[in-house]
Structure 1
Amino acid sequence: MMTVNRDFPDSSPFELRQPSDQRIPFVFNSPHSGRFYPPTFILQSQLDAHTIRRSEDCFVDQLFASAVMLGAPLMLAHFPRAYLDVNREPYELDPKMFLEPLPSFANGHSARVAGGLGTIPRLVGEGQEIYAQKFHISEALGRIDSIYKPYHLMLGNVLATTCARFGYGVLVDCHSMPASIRFPESGMRPDFIIGDRFGTSCAPELASAAIQLLREMGYVVAHNKPYAGGYITEHYGRPLKHMHALQIEVNRGLYLNENTYEKKPGFEQLQRDIGLFLADLVSLPDFYFLDTPLAAE
């Protein structure tokens, strides 16, 4: 049971959409597509309601909605990434943001904190400061206790249940990236980036199959650069224990006007293509995921 959060008094900050029967060992997760910005949060911010959405993975939950029809659970956030980022360690906190010193258990020195993108982000988009002034550390710890921890508890439970039922599990972490992303060598824009933490978070056959399937559909696909996967991919991906995690980044330029946050005419076609891609991905043979010895206890 989730703790009630004062910023979400009338609805859950996140949800798990379940098929009537989970038929496949896949779980999909959209942690950054939340579109509800609590009024109390907006009052804390110096950004307007438009600019504060710069880090949002707009409509990614809708792009991957067909996962449920295929027989897989889909977990998604309603809270925005600018408010709380569950794709971080629990306590990656920026000491410059708070009135009091960080607690001893916090990680205030990670690269993500230095970039303004900790568990409680300091920045959105291209470096816009979210908050007008410092605030109490208790506010950050409250968001972590009431939303972050229950989110990961639910995600961890559904993954454990999946592994117990099927003998292995596959987590697909779904994200979007700005249209400005380019290959440094050629200047080409990747349509998708597949991340597997440089081969450590899943069976190599899974990442290779995902890349090949998308390329066969005519998309430009990169592997691990510049996005190899965040905390979720790293934390849950344990291929030696038959738990695989893969990150998928979709270029927003394919489906979104990034100035107005409105869907482009190509949204529905991309949604259909992703549905076809997922249908093929979840049909991969079991030996892709089970032909790896269990890690020594």
Structure 2
Amino acid sequence: MTIEVSRGDLPVILALPHTGTDLPDEVRAALSPVGLALADTDWHIDRLYDGLLPGATVVRTGTHRYAVDVNRPPDGESLYPGQNTTALCPLTDFDGRPLYRDGHQPDAAEIARRRDAFHAPYHAALSLELQRLRSKHGAVLLYDCHSIRSRIPYLFDGTLPDFNIGTADGQSCAPDIEQAALRIAQGATGYRTVLNGRFKGGWTTRHYGRPADGIHAIQMELAQSAYLTDEAAPWAYDTPKATHLRRWLGDILAALTETILELPR
């Protein structure tokens, strides 16, 4: 299980917490057929963002979220109290179906082991890069890259917009950063956008986003219908759709980079 870091010099980090499909052998052996399908992967997000912002730092974990979700609080606290969601070591998929075979769910000791083995190293790498770039530039932006199926009744009603921007209700970044992303996304031809709707930013956005300390964080949750042929296995990358979407994502990243460089130090 690996943490991949590609270092750049721009004050921007692209975080990829949910593109990995690696599972430890003992986790794989415990999963049900539902779990083994890995349906809740952020399919092809690494490919979608590849090369869009040369000079950005990229931090990625290869470990699948069914082993441990690095975008959840390490203490297991719910990010969305009162709403259906998944845990640090999820027991169900996004449709509420069991991920484990009967009697094989992780206990407290196993959850702690996975947190130490996979969650902690990812955040150690993120923290190191954030401090490196903040020291160099005075301010840094963490852009958390995500995607999800556009229709999941267990998690939300109706159809999700294409661009779901999360800033913890404006607390995780400067207003200029939030507005730069929103302006481009709202102007993107053929797409729908929401700010701090169903997805307000996961633990990564909420934990690291400290604008007063020069660390700004924003989550972009994309509807997979915007770039996949079909939101079901085999989760095929639709090149024409993705190419159109990449144009707008590139504009968003360019605008965010310009904005972070212009913020008062």
Normalized against structure 1, the TM-score is what?
Answer: 0.78
Q: Show CA shifts across 1:77-114 (max 9, x none).
A: 2111111111111131xxxxxxxxxxxxxx5x775698
Alpha-carbon distance, 1:71 to partner: 0.7
Q: Which runs of structure 2 are paired with 1:1-297 in the superposition (5 Å)?
A: 8=1, 12=2, 14-19=3-8, 22=9, 24-48=10-34, 51=37, 53-67=38-52, 69-92=53-76, 115=84, 117-132=86-101, 133=103, 134-180=105-151, 189-218=160-189, 219-256=191-228, 257-260=230-233, 261-265=235-239, 266-284=241-259, 286-287=261-262, 289-290=263-264
Q: Show CA shifts across 1:137-191 (max 9, x none).
A: 3322221111111111110010011111001111111111222169x99x66511
Q: 1:188 to 1:55 in 2, by over 3 A?
A: closer
Gaps of 5+ in 1: 1-7, 93-106, 292-297
Q: In the aligned structure 2, how far is the partner of 1:88 from the partner of 1:124?
A: 15
Query: Please, which moves more after superposition, 212-221 or 152-161?
Result: 212-221
Question: Is the Cα–Cα contact under 8 Å of residues 16 and 74 in structure 1 kept in the other structure?
Answer: yes
Q: In the aligned structure 1, how far is the partner of 2:178 from the partner of 2:126?
A: 21
Alpha-carbon distance, 1:55 to partner: 1.7
Amino acid at match of 2:243: E
Q: Secondary structure, in 3 states, of the residue corresponding to 2:87?
A: coil
Question: Is the Cα–Cα contact under 8 Å of residues 70 and 279 in structure 1 kept in the other structure?
Answer: no
Alpha-carbon distance, 1:39 to partner: 3.6
Q: 1:217 to 1:46 in 2, by over 3 A?
A: same
The residue aligned with 1:294 is none
Alpha-carbon distance, 1:124 to partner: 1.0
Normalized against structure 2, the TM-score is what?
Answer: 0.87
Question: Is the Cα–Cα contact under 8 Å of residues 190 and 222 in structure 1 kept in the other structure?
Answer: yes
Alpha-carbon distance, 1:60 to partner: 1.1
Query: Please, which moves more after superposition, 193-202 or 130-139?
Result: 130-139
Q: 1:87 to 1:201 in 2, by over 3 A?
A: same
Q: 1:279 to 1:40 in 2, by over 3 A?
A: same
Identical positions, percent: 28
Q: In the aligned structure 1, how far is the partner of 2:142 from the partner of 2:28?
A: 32
Q: In the aligned structure 1, how far is the partner of 2:71 from the partner of 2:82?
A: 13
Question: What is the root-mean-square deviation in Å for CA atoms of aligned residues?
Answer: 2.6
| Number of equivalences | 257
Alpha-carbon distance, 1:125 to partner: 1.9
Structure scoring higher RCO (CA < 8 A, sep ≥ 6) equals: 2
Question: Is the Cα–Cα contact under 8 Å of residues 116 and 123 in structure 1 kept in the other structure?
Answer: no
Amino acid at match of 2:15: N
Question: Is the Cα–Cα contact under 8 Å of residues 139 and 260 in structure 2 kept in the other structure?
Answer: no
Q: Show CA shifts across 1:101-135 (max 9, x none).
A: xxxxxx5x775698462211111121011112234
Question: Is the Cα–Cα contact under 8 Å of residues 180 and 255 in structure 2 kept in the other structure?
Answer: no
Q: Secondary structure, in 3 states, of the residue corresponding to 1:171?
A: strand
